[in-house]
């Protein structure tokens, strides 16, 4: 059901978290510990903010498993950055394995990832699609609920590429509420898993949420140090005391200064 990781802080080499940590994202791609299925081998993606003055992140995605991809290893060793997102995918049944479906998705300075799925997505997609402006609609290239949610979110903020942390946080809440509302209207009671992460390179919005079943949210942890914030679907190291679980049905707004506000869904 996918695993992801994000980092913001003093510049580090991406490989430190992606490869060299004990339960790195690459380990989680083949042997995840806190999800029903251990394998997340349906592609991956890395988005990072360059150190030079370029606010738009780079993105590298592939449909190959993360564990065997040489480019990922080589890039991770060479990219030094103060903010990155990375994702390993376990495709929901019926969702094709294609680069267009690999996270993180990008728009302007934003990156977006999802861990989970929207139940009966095909049933609610067309209904929700009607809300989208043509510009937001035309951003969609793949066929996942994850990318669709991003387009829906972007539509809410009018495709504004420079929204504030508050606006991003409020619209993340609104997007989830809209999803829940649509599911409820169609009387879809089976649960959805709605862990989202987005950033503009300075602020991070993070959700651990469900719909239809209170305790079904995928695992999600964060770790704070003096100079960095890390979040990850699973702790990257066995030193558990460094990792705190996010409460279910909450939105984390981590701003430029790494101060954290928690909103209840």
Site residues, its own copies (CB under 8 A): 30, 38-39, 41-42, 48, 50-52, 54, 57-65, 67-68, 70-71, 74-75, 77-80, 91, 96-100, 122, 126, 134, 137-138, 141, 143
Q: Rounded CA gap, 41 and 220, in Å? A: 19
Measured from the CB of residue 217, what is the shortest distance to its own copies in angstroms? 24
Map 192-255 to HEC letters. Answer: EEEEEEEECCCCEEEEECEECCCCCCCCCEEEECCCEEEEECCCCCCCHHHCEECCCCEEEEEC
Measured from the CB of residue 230, what is the shortest distance to its own copies in angstroms? 21
Nearer to its own copies, 50 or 212 (CB): 50
Q: Residue 260: in which H helix or E strand, if any?
A: strand 260-264
Query: Which residue's structure tokens are 């790195």?
Result: 24
Measured from the CB of residue 20, what is the shortest distance to its own copies in angstroms? 15
Measured from the CB of residue 179, what is the shortest distance to its own copies in angstroms? 19
Query: Which residue's structure tokens are 């609609």?
Result: 137
Residues forming the active site: 2
Measured from the CB of residue 119, what is the shortest distance to its own copies in angstroms? 16
Nearer to its own copies, 11 or 158 (CB): 11
Nearer to its own copies, 7 or 222 (CB): 7
Q: Rounded CA gap, 252 and 197, in Å? A: 9
- Closest residue by Cα to residue 82 from 184, 1, 10: 10
Structure tokens belonging to residue 18: 């992606």
Please tell me the total number of residues recorded for the chain in this structure.
Answer: 265
Nearer to its own copies, 89 or 191 (CB): 89
Query: Which residue's structure tokens are 């079943």?
Result: 213
CB 203 within 8 A of CB 255: yes
Structure tokens belonging to residue 26: 């690459």
Q: Rounded CA gap, 19 and 240, in Å? A: 19
Q: Where are the alpha helices (DSSP H) in the chain?
A: 14-18, 25-31, 70-78, 121-129, 134-137, 145-156, 165-185
Nearer to its own copies, 78 or 213 (CB): 78
Measured from the CB of residue 97, what is the shortest distance to its own copies in angstroms? 5
Nearer to its own copies, 148 or 222 (CB): 148
């Amino acid at each position: 059901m996918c695993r992801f990781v994000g980092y913001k802080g003093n510049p580090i080499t991406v490989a430190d978290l992606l490869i060299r940590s004990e339960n790195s994202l690459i380990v989680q791609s083949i042997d995840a510990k806190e999800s029903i299925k251990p394998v997340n081998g349906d592609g991956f993606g890395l988005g990072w903010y360059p150190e030079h003055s370029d606010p738009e992140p780079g993105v590298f995605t592939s449909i190959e498993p993360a564990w065997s991809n040489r480019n990922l290893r080589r890039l991770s060793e060479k990219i030094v950055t103060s903010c990155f997102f990375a994702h390993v995918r376990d495709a929901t049944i019926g969702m094709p394995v294609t680069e267009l479906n690999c996270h993180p998705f990008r728009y302007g300075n934003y990156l977006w990832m999802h861990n989970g799925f929207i139940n009966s997505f095909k049933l609610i997609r067309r209904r929700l699609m009607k809300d989208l402006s043509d510009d937001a609609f035309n951003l969609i290239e793949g066929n996942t609920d994850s990318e669709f949610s991003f387009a829906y979110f972007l539509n809410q903020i009018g495709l504004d590429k420079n929204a504030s942390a508050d606006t991003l946080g409020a619209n993340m809440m609104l997007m989830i509420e809209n999803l829940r509302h649509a599911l409820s209207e169609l009387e879809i009671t089976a649960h959805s898993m709605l862990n989202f992460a987005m950033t503009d390179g300075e602020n991070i919005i993070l959700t651990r949420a469900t719909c239809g079943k209170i305790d079904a949210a995928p695992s999600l942890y964060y770790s704070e140090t003096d100079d960095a914030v890390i979040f990850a679907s699973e702790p990257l190291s066995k030193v558990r005391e460094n990792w705190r679980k996010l409460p279910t049905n909450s939105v984390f707004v981590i701003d430029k200064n790494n101060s954290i506000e928690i909103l209840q869904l």
